[in-house]
Amino acid sequence: MGRIYLSPPHMTDVERSLLLGAFDANWVAPVGPDLDAFEREFAARQGVPHAVALSSGSAALHLGLLVAGVQAGDAVIVPTFTFAATANSVRYCNADPVFVDSERATWNADPALVAAAVEDCQRRGRRVGAIVTVDLYGQCADHAPIRALCDAHGIPLIEDAAEAVGATWAGRPAGAWGDIGVFSFNGNKIMTTGGGGMLTSADPAIVDRVRHLSTQAREPALHYEHKVLGFNYRLSNPLAAIGRGQVQRLSEMIDRRSTIRDRYLAALGELPGISFNPIDDRGTANHWLTVVVLGDNSACSPTELITALDSVDIEARPAWKPMHLQPLYADAPCHGGEVAADIFSRGVCLPSGSSMTDDDLERVINTAQSVLSA
C-alpha cells in the first residue's frame, strides 16, 4: 500500500501520448503547436475568450497585476485566507497588500469588508491599484457585489482562480468575474502540467500584452530590441501537451472529486462536532479539496487527526494559514480576520485526489472515523 497524498497528479494514457507526441515532434521549447492548442482548448472549456499559458499561477498573478496598472506604493485588496502566492505577487509589484477576512458562506472574501477596505484606503489617500479575489478550495467568491464595487470605482479586478478551474458562480465561469482570471497547474491542483499557469481575459489587448511580457518583451525586430521590462514566464510546449489531456479529462476529474466529498460527508458528517467546507448553491464548485472542520465537541484536535492519518501513510494538511498571521505580512493591515483564523485553527484538508481508488477512500475514512468517534 503506497502513501495516499492530498492531491497528487492524475495522469493517463491520454496525457502520456500527447506528451510523447510533443517530444517526438521535437517541440521541446516554450513555443509550439501544443502551447497554442492548449490556450485555445482551455479557453473554450473554461468559457473565456482569450488565454495565455504561463510558467505558473504565480507568474500569471504577477503579470496580471502589472498589466492591470498596479504601481509601486499602491494598496491592493487581497483576502487573508489564501495561499501566500496571492499576496506575494502584490509585493513583486512593490505594492502593499491590504487584507480582508472571509465570510462564512463561501470562506472567500467578505464583500462588505472589501468595500470597507476600499473606503478606508481612499480616506487615507491611498490609491487602490486592484482588488484580488480568490476562489478557495474550488469554490468561487461572492463576486456580484465585488464586481459592482470595482465597476463603480474603476478598480481592476483580478480573480485568483488558481484552485477553481471548472467552477462557476451565478452562471459565470471562475476567472471570468475578473478583468483578469488566473489559474494554476501546479502538481497538486485539480489539473496539472507539472507546473504551469494560465491568464485569461475578455480583452484581447490584455492577453497580448501578457504574452509579450512573458517572453522578455522582445520587440518585433530582427535584432534583440526591448522597450519595457520583460520576464521569462512562458509555459513550455511539452507541459502544454500534458495540459491538453487534462482539459479533455477535467469533467471526469471534477466528478470524481465531488464523489469523494459526498463519501466523506456521508461517513463523517454525523460524528460529534464535525462539519465541512460549505458549498454555496449559487455556484458550482470543483471540489478541489474537501476540508473537515473540527468543532469544540469533536473527539480529537486537527493535529491529532493529521497525525493519526500520517501514521498509516495518509497525507492531510491544515487549512491555509491566513496571511495576516504570517510573519512575512505582520505589518500589513487586515480588516477582520477572525473567520479565517478560526477556520485555520479547526480545518483539516483531507485527501481529495481524483486518482484515489475506492479502497484508498475507505482507508482514509476508516482511520478518520476511528479517531473522530473515540
Ligand X SMILES: *Cc1c(COP(=O)(O)O)cnc(C)c1O
Binding status of residue 231 toward ligand X by CB under 6 A? no
Determine which residue in the list 134, 158, 319, 356 makes contact with ligand X, applying CB under 6 A: 134
Please identify, using beta-carbon distances, which residue of 131 and 368 lies nearer to ligand X.
131
Tell me how far apart the alpha carbons of residues 39 and 35 are, in angstroms, rounded to a whole number.
6
Binding mask 268-307 for ligand X (x = CB under 6 A): ----------------------------------------
Tell me how far apart the alpha carbons of residues 133 and 150 are, in angstroms, rounded to a whole number.
11
List the grid coordinates of 101.
477576512
Helix, strand, coil in percent for the chain, rounding step 5: 40, 20, 40
**What is the DSSP secondary-structure string of 343-356?**
HHHHEEEEP--TT-
- The SS3 call for residue 158 is strand
What residues between 79 and 118 interact with ligand X by CB under 6 A? 82-83, 85-86
CB of 366 to ligand X, least distance (A): 29
CB of 34 to ligand X, least distance (A): 19
Residues in contact with ligand X, counted by CB under 6 A, come to a total of 14
Sole residue written with cell 490609491: 127
Binding mask 153-192 for ligand X (x = CB under 6 A): -------x-xx--------------------x-x------
Tell me how far apart the alpha carbons of residues 155 and 128 are, in angstroms, rounded to a whole number.
7
Region near ligand X per CB under 6 A, out of 13-21, 77-85, 239-247, 347-355: 77-85
Determine which residue in the list 7, 46, 56, 193 makes contact with ligand X, applying CB under 6 A: 56
Q: Contact 368/300 with Cβ under 8 angstroms?
A: no
Closest of 6, 55, 353 to residue 190, by C-alpha: 353
Distances in Å between the alpha carbon of 94 and those of 75, 87, 328? 10, 11, 14
Please identify, using beta-carbon distances, which residue of 201 and 298 lies nearer to ligand X.
201
Region near ligand X per CB under 6 A, out of 2-10, 51-59, 91-99, 226-234: 51-59
Which residues here bind ligand X, judged by CB under 6 A?
A: 56-58, 82-83, 85-86, 134, 160, 162-163, 184, 186, 197
